Amino acid sequence: MLYSLLKPILFSVDAELAHEVSLEMLNQFRSLVPQARIKKPKQVMGIEFPNSVGLAAGLDKNAEYLPGLSKLGFGFIEVGTVTPQAQDGNPRPRIFRLIRHRSIINRMGFNNKGVDHLLQQLPGRPRPYVLGINIGKNLNTPVDNALSDYRTGLQKVYLQADYISLNISSPNTPGLRKLQSETALDALLHGIHETRKALQDQHQFDRPIALKIAPDLDDKTIPAIAELLHKHHIDALIATNTTVDRQSVDRHPLAAESGGLSGEAMNEKSRHVLSQFQLALKDEIPIISVGGISSAAEAQRRLELGASLVQIYTGLIYQGPGLVREIARAIS
C-alpha cells in the first residue's frame, strides 16, 4: 500500500539512488514496519528454512540493511556479492529500468566495502531468517587466480554464514563466467573442497556451499556442471544470475546497455535452465530458482519444475515488499 504511493517518486529518480533511498528508509523507519512472519518450514541443505522465499544477492551487498529487510518476511536473505577487498564497481549510471518489461539491466561490477566490513554488520544468532553470504573475486585478481579470492572469502565468512554461495556468474566482472567452463570449474571446486575440509577439521562442523550460475549456458554445458557439483560435494545450485541475452527486450531503447538483464524478461530463460538442471541433478542436489519471479503463481511454477526454494530481486522493485508475504503464504 505505502509502496504504491512511493513507487512513482522512486521511479522518477535514478534507479540506483532509488534503491539506496528505499533501503535507507526501510532501515530508518523499521519500527513502523509490522514484522511479517510466515512459518512454512522447509529443510534444504541440512538447514531449516522458515519459509521458501529468499532475497537474491546484490540488493544488500554489504549486509547493512538486514534490520529493515528482516521485517519483510523472508525465509532467507543472501547478502553480497562481497569480495576480499573493497572496490568501487563500474561508473554510474549502472542500473537501468526497462519498465514495460518489468525488468532491469545492471552493470554494477561488484561494488562493495569488502568482506571484513560485511562481517561487522551481521547480527548474532539466533536470527529469524537463514543468512546466505555470496562471495566473489576482486576485479584486479586475474581469473586464473580466482581460487585465492574465493578461498579468502570462504575462510572469512565460514563461521557467520548459514550457507555460502560462490558467484561465478556475474556478467559484469570481465572473464568471471569463464570459471563455468568444465576445466576451470573442476579446478575451482576442487580447491574449494580442500579449503572446506580444512575448515571442517578446524571448526568441527560443516557449512553448506551453493554455486550460482548464469542462465546463458548451452544445453551441453549443463550436464557437465551437474557432474562437477556431485564430484565436489556442492550442496545446492542457485539458478540463475542475470542474462546477457537481449532477445526478449530487443526493441527497447535501453536494450543495448551493457550488463545483465533481470526481471520478467528473463523468465523463460530461467525456467529453461531450471528444468535442464533438474533433469541433470535428478533431485539429488537442491536448486534455488531465481530470475524473473514476480508472482506467487510463477514461484509455484518454479517449485513444480523442481526448485526447492525461490529468490527474488527485480520483482521486489516492481511489485514492492508485499510480494515476499504474497509468495511465502501461497507456495507449498
Taking CB under 6 A as the binding criterion, the range among 152-160, 174-182, 202-210, 306-314 that sits at the site for ligand FMN is 306-314
CA distances from 59 to 56, 85, 110, 145, 169 (A): 7, 19, 11, 27, 16
117 class by beta-carbon count within 10 Å (0-12 exposed, 13-18 middle, 19+ buried): middle
Interface residue with ligand FMN, options 285, 313, 319, 325 (CB under 6 A): 313
Can you read off the three cell numbers belonging to residue 20?
539506496
DSSP state for residue 50 in the 8-state scheme: S
Q: Which is nearer to ligand FMN, 278 or 319 (CB)?
A: 319
Name the residue number minimizing CB distance to ligand FMN: 58
Measured distance CA(137)–CA(308) in Å, rounded: 27
- Nearer to ligand FMN by Cβ, of 203 and 207: the residue is 207
Residue 22 is a binding residue for ligand FMN (CB under 6 A): no
Count of CB atoms situated within 10 Å of the CB of 297: 11
Strand arrangement, sheet containing 103-106: 95-98, 103-106, 260-263
* Amino acid letter for position 31: S
Site string for ligand FMN, 93-122 (x = CB under 6 A): --x--------x-x-x-x------------
Regarding 312 and contact with ligand FMN (CB under 6 A), the answer is: yes
Per the annotation, the verdict on 308 as an active-site residue is no
Annotated catalytic residue: which of 170, 262, 294, 308? 170
Cell numbers linked to 6: 512511493
Residue 61 sits in the site that holds ligand FMN (CB under 6 A): yes
Single out the residue of 22, 241, 248, 278 in contact with ligand FMN (rule: CB under 6 A): 241
Binding site for ligand FMN (CB under 6 A): 56-58, 61, 81, 95, 104, 106, 108, 110, 134, 167, 170, 212, 241-242, 262-263, 266, 290-293, 312-315
Enzyme catalytic residues: 170
